[in-house]
């Protein structure tokens, strides 16, 4: 779909993203568990074809999930209205999920090349990234707290304008 405005009316693109992510995850897991891939190494390192195919597949699924989040944020931005505040929360939430999951995905390949010190640095890089995204998410929630409150309470709010059209 080349018209992002048309995405507002037709949400079927979400199903396509989810289906693609599911297929990639299933294929990566299936291929990664095959003996052929598990017993085939790349070069002198113990990096197996199974680890590489899982890394590529899971990484592609995470990238697609992040792109889904970007597009969803764009749709909410274009729609605006009562739930427009959600656009500011989607990307930090999706980014948090992607970074947290990326820790294990990247480790599929890098663990074969890391010593104890390098592993510690790797862990701290992800800790700092996850905490940073959590700060971003909290800031997004705080920045949208008025919009969030309005969206959740607007049904119960009495109207300030009289129904007869006269102003007080």
24-56 pLDDT tens trace: 999 999 999 999 999 999 877 789 999 999 999
* Residue 160 located in a structural domain: no
- In this prediction the pTM is 0.77
Q: What are 80-118's pLDDT values in tens digits? A: 777 777 888 999 999 999 999 999 999 999 998 899 999
User: What letter does residue 7 receive in the DSSP assignment?
Assistant: G
Q: Is residue 38 part of a domain?
A: yes
34 within domain boundaries: yes
Does 61 fall in a domain?
A: yes
DSSP letter, residue 159:
P
- Number of compact structural domains in the chain: 1
Establish if 55 belongs to a structural domain.
yes
Whether 76 maps to a domain, the answer reads yes
CA-to-CA distance for 5 and 136, rounded, in angstroms? 27
Of the ranges 47-51, 109-113, 121-125, 164-168, which one carries the lowest mean pLDDT score?
A: 164-168
Domain of 73?
4-153
């Amino acid at each position: 779909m080349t018209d992002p405005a048309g995405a507002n009316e037709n949400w079927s693109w979400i199903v396509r993203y989810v289906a693609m992510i599911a297929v990639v995850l299933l294929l990566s897991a299936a291929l990664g568990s095959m003996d052929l891939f598990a017993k085939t190494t790349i070069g002198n390192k113990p990096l197996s074809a199974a680890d590489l195919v899982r890394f590529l597949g899971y990484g592609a699924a995470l990238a697609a999930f992040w792109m889904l989040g970007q597009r969803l944020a764009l749709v909410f931005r274009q729609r605006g209205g009562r739930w427009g505040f959600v656009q500011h929360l989607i990307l930090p939430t999706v980014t948090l999920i992607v970074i947290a999951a990326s820790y294990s995905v990247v480790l599929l390949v890098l663990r074969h090349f890391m010593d104890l010190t390098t592993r510690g640095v790797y862990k701290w890089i992800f800790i700092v990234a996850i905490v940073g995204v959590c700060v971003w998410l909290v800031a997004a929630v705080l920045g949208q707290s008025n919009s969030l409150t309005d969206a959740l309470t607007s049904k119960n709010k009495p109207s300030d304008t009289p129904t007869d059209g006269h102003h007080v």
